[in-house]
């Protein structure tokens, strides 16, 4: 059985001081919820505080990006080894905001995913179409291509350290959520692509999340879908009550 993973993406929000408070408030609320893995992907500067506050809880800490080189003259970048040493277990790779604002391409997403996995991290690889692409009727092709490039050179064994997050760009931070059927349809397309690349058994094991304006009100319907194995949650992960409700919906 594949894992359900509920991951928050704090983006560029929360200071280290607020991080400790947030996790101390969240931890008792979700302590008994063991049907989903719970992850908070926090800004780099919040990692130390997050790891300390989450110690001994069922909350794992993730980062929001990783560089693809092991070390070297890459001013401002953070390596996978640095993340591992700081206690991070997951890292988001190829979020659409990084593709849109920071020149991320399918190729760099692949390089980052491999660097993360080789260091022992679980890579949450984001794929998803823009509104224009959806209206053009090419969602399946776009998402299939992003998935195929992201997984280049990743073995079936390494696939166990991969989560794919289907995040339609038009639904991120817009309040426009995909219907449960739309989310499930594309997650199933991704699973079929993975089955072709690897095997049906490997694809059946892969956690595929939906992300895009998931909140306390719509999480249950989305998470009930057969191919949706969790959520990547932006805005609603910044409030303890909302994030707790989403984790609860995964039960
Ligand atoms: C995200 O940042 O991955 C995301 C899904 O954001 P939001 O939930 O705010 O749409």
pLDDT per residue as tens digits for the range 213-229:
999 999 999 999 999 99
Per-residue model confidence as pLDDT tens digits over 87-128? 999 999 999 999 999 999 999 999 999 999 999 999 999 999
128 lines ligand 1 (CB under 6 A): no
Secondary element (H or E) of residue 208: strand 207-211
Q: Tokens 């195929």 sit at which residue? A: 148
Nearest atom (ligand 1) to Cα of 233: 8
What does the domain layout of the chain look like in residue ranges? 5-249
122 lines ligand 1 (CB under 6 A): no
Is pLDDT above 90 for 1?
Answer: no
Q: What are phi and psi of 48, to 5 degrees?
A: -60, -45
CATH class given for the domain over 5-249? alpha beta
Active site residues: 95, 167
Per-residue model confidence as pLDDT tens digits over 151-192? 999 999 999 999 999 999 999 988 888 999 999 999 999 999
211 lines ligand 1 (CB under 6 A): yes
> How far is the centre of ligand 1, averaged over its atoms, from the C-alpha of 81 (Å)?
26
Per-residue model confidence as pLDDT tens digits over 169-179? 999 988 888 99
User: What is the best residue among 40, 65, 104, 167 to mutate for testing ligand 1's pocket, by most ligand atoms within 8 Å of CB?
Assistant: 167
* pLDDT attached to residue 175: 87
222 lines ligand 1 (CB under 6 A): no
> How far is the centre of ligand 1, averaged over its atoms, from the C-alpha of 231 (Å)?
9
Q: Tokens 């949706």 sit at which residue? A: 228
What global pTM score does this model have? 0.98
User: What is the best residue among 96, 222, 232, 238 to mutate for testing ligand 1's pocket, by most ligand atoms within 8 Å of CB?
Assistant: 232
- Write the residue with the smallest CA distance to atom 4 of ligand 1: 234
Full DSSP string of 142-188: HHHHHHHHHTTT--TTGGGGEEEEE--GGGTTTS-PPPHHHHHHHHH
Nearest atom (ligand 1) to Cα of 9: 2
231 lines ligand 1 (CB under 6 A): no
Helix axes 16-30, 240-249, angle to 10 degrees: 40
Average pLDDT (185-211) is: 98
């Amino acid at each position: 059985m594949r894992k359900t993973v509920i991951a928050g993406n704090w983006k560029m929000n929360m200071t280290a001081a607020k991080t400790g408070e947030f996790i101390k408030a969240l931890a008792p609320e979700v302590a008994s919820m063991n049907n989903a893995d719970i992850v908070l992907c926090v800004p780099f500067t919040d990692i130390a505080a997050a790891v300390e506050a989450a110690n001994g809880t069922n909350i794992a800490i993730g980062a929001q990006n990783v560089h693809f080189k092991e070390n070297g003259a890459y001013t401002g970048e953070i390596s996978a080894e640095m993340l591992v040493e700081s206690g991070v277990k997951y890292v988001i790779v190829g979020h659409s905001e990084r593709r849109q604002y920071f020149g991320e391409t399918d190729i760099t997403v692949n390089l980052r995913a491999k660097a993360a996995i080789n260091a022992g991290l679980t890579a949450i690889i984001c794929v998803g179409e823009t509104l224009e692409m959806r209206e053009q009727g090419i969602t399946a092709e776009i998402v299939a291509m992003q998935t195929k490039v992201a997984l280049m050179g990743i073995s079936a064994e390494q696939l166990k350290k991969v989560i794919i997050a289907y995040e339609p760009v038009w639904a991120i931070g817009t309040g426009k959520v995909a219907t449960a059927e739309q989310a499930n349809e594309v997650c199933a397309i991704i699973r079929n692509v993975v089955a072709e690349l690897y095997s049906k058994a490997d694809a059946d094991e892969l956690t595929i999340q939906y992300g895009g304006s998931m909140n306390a009100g719509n999480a249950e319907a989305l998470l009930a879908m057969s191919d949706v194995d969790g959520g990547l949650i932006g805005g609603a992960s910044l409030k303890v009550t909302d994030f707790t409700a989403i984790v609860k919906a995964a039960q």
